[in-house]
Amino acid sequence: MEPFRVWQDVCMVGSAELSHPYDCCVYLLDAGDLVLIDCGAGRSFQKLVSNIESLGFKHGRIKTVIVTHAHVDHIGALHRFQEHGAKIIAHELDADAIEYGGGTGATAYSVHYIPCHVDIRIKGPEQSFRFPKWELRAIHIQGHTPGSIAVYVDMAGRRVLFGQDVHGPYLPQWGGDPTQAKLSLQRLIDLKADILCEGHFGIYQPAAAVEEYIREYLDNL
């Protein structure tokens, strides 16, 4: 499997098949500045760089990594990208885990997580981030972890949703809350996205397929 363009300025550059078996799906957005959505478990930094460069981008141009939640399969390479100049954005309720390492699940993956500073802490239910080409909106979707977020962008007539771990799990021992998850999954449905970039299971489109996928998990909670 090779890295590929999902839609316009959105690419998939990492996953269990693309970069390392422990990795979440890692998405690259060319927003004028390069933005990563998550960054894998930490064992695939060089492969992610190779995948990014194979699409014609320079990894040194990555200005921002947006963290959807503080599980190690999504944050393990943060310190490497930060060393190369990227700023980290995460919700304040997951920021301490990123900065101190508690509750990341690193031991379950046998990964040595290196804590790193969160540059921008999202507060409250929603926050916008303006880049040269696109505006990204981050929304708080508590349920998988206390500080889980989704990100969406309206681009060339389609709404692209980085919903990440829609599938959960929503287990208390992993920081989950099924009651909050129900509200969050309904909120994702209400966004009426045309394309869903999920956290481990790839791309869903068109809008009807996005709603069907999210509703399956909502109905089973």
Q: Specify the CATH number for the domain of residue 63.
A: 3.60.15.10
Domain span at residue 178 reads: 4-219
Stretch 136-140: mean pLDDT, rounded? 98
Stretch 185-198: mean pLDDT, rounded? 98
Tokens 């489109």 correspond to 205
Task: Supply the pLDDT for residue 24.
Answer: 98
Determine the Cα angle at 17 with ends 216 and 100, to 5°. 80
Least confident of 69-73, 81-85, 173-177, 217-221: 173-177
Tokens standing for residue 122 = 């999202």
In total, how many domains does the chain have?
1
Alpha-carbon span 64 to 29, nearest angstrom: 10
Close Cβ partners of 173 (under 8 Å, ≥ 6 residues apart): none
Task: Supply the pLDDT for residue 149.
Answer: 98
Tokens standing for residue 181 = 């998850």
> What does pLDDT average to over the chain?
96
Percent of the chain with pLDDT over 70: 100
Task: Supply the pLDDT for residue 175.
Answer: 81
